[in-house]
Amino acid sequence: MDTAKIIAATKMILEAIGEDAEREGLKKTPERVARFWEQATAGYGGNAQDFSTVFDGEQYDEMILCRDIEFHSLCEHHLLPIVGVAHVAYIPNKKILGLSKIPRIVDMFAARLQNQERLTSQIAAMIDELLDTKGVGVIISAKHLCMSARGVKKQNAVMETSALRGRFRNDARTRAEFLQMIKG
C-alpha cells in the first residue's frame, strides 16, 4: 500500500470540499485515513495457506455451521461500508477446519473492495477448496451504506445472498436443515 499517496489524496479531498487540511481537527486525519485503508484492505494479502488448520482423518459427516459472523467490508462501487453477518456451513469429507478459521476466511474476503455476491461465492469456494467438502452453504445478510446514505436512501434495506454447493444445492433436505439452523 502506498501510504504517502493516500495521505496526499486525503488532503486533496479535504481541500476540494473547502476544508483546511491543516486545521487542528483535521491535521492528523490523512494519516488516520491511511491507517483505515491499510486495515480495511488487509484481505488482499491472504490466501488458502493462511488457513492451514485442517484436521484429516475425521469421521464426522454431519453439517458444521458457524453462524452470525459479523463483518465489515467496502462496496467497490462507492467505497462505502457494507455491514453484515455471514452464516457458513459445510459437510465434511474426512477433513474438518479449525473453527476460528471460518470467521477468518470471512474477514479475509471482507477486507477487500467487494460486492456482496462475490464475497459470498469466494467464502464458499475457499472452504470447498480447503476441505473438498460434500457441500458448502454460505448466506450473507448485509446493509450497504451506499443504499442507505445516498441514492435511494433506504435505511432498513437488507441484501441477502447465498452460495450453495454440493449437497446444499442438490439435496432439498440438507438445504432446509441449513436454513433452519441459521434461524437459531
Which one of the listed residues 66, 75, 114, 177 is annotated catalytic?
75
Contact between 111 and 95 under an 8 Å Cβ cutoff? The reply is: no
Which one of the listed residues 87, 114, 146, 177 is annotated catalytic?
146
Place of cell 491511511: 34
Which one of the listed residues 87, 116, 122, 177 is annotated catalytic?
116
146 is catalytic: yes
116 is catalytic: yes
123, containing H or E segment: helix 116-131
87 is catalytic: no
144 is catalytic: yes
Q: Residue 169 has which C-alpha cell? A: 444445492
75 is catalytic: yes
Which one of the listed residues 66, 87, 144, 177 is annotated catalytic?
144
Which one of the listed residues 39, 77, 117, 160 is annotated catalytic?
77
What is the three-class DSSP state of 9? helix
Q: What is the distance of C-alpha 175 from the center of its chain?
A: 22
For residue 11, give the amino acid letter. Answer: K
Active site residues: 75-78, 116, 144, 146
